[in-house]
Amino acid sequence: MANKLETATLAGGCFWCVEAVFSRLKGVEQVVSGYVGGELPNPTYQAVCSGETGHAEAVQIRFIPDTISYGELLELFWRYHDPTTLNRQGADVGTQYRSAIFYHNEEQRRVAEASREEADLAGIWPDPIVTEIVPATTFYPAEAHHQDYFRLNGLQPYCQMVIAPKVKRLQQHHADKLKGTSG
């Protein structure tokens, strides 16, 4: 009997960064970069970058909840982007880079709200978390050249300076959660 897959949709700045972290996790079957939370049907990267469509760069994660729970995904989400900066991640600025959890059902909403409160109380970040928790809307996959970007373009300067340190930190601190490792 095949494991049932669930879907998580998360926005934490540049979707290349979020995809690079979550695609390495045990129990994650697929990560697709795309756009969610806006008004324009079938947005393009250029349209989303204008900041006028209302979309966030996000990833849609298909995962096996018996291997990695939604709550575990969120625990990592809080640690691998800065959820305390409104509409910004590092040098990436605009509403398309906002921190958001797009929940697919009431259980995800409940888990997300509890997780945000727990992360805030734990003091993971020195400032309060501003991540929005909102219902998932239509998810539009990004253009093909944005998919699996870090794996395919790892030597690009942005990948080396911004994404590679996140992946290295994941390998150092959460190796037990990575594909190809025991635990």
Residues with a known catalytic role: 14
Q: Which two tokens stand for residue 25?
A: 């996790």
Distances (CA, A) of 168 to 108, 121, 149, 150, 178: 29, 26, 16, 13, 12
List Cβ neighbours of 138 (8 Å cut-off, separation of 6 or more): 36, 41
Task: Tell me the Ramachandran region of residue 42: left when phi exceeds 0, alpha when psi lies from -120 to 50, beta otherwise.
Answer: left
58: which residues sit within 8 A by CB, 6+ positions away? Answer: 9, 10, 11, 15, 18, 33, 34, 35, 36, 37, 100, 102, 139
Please report which helix (H) or strand (E) contains residue 102, including its range: strand 99-103
Tokens 């991540």 belong to 131
**Both tokens assigned to 106:** 């009431």
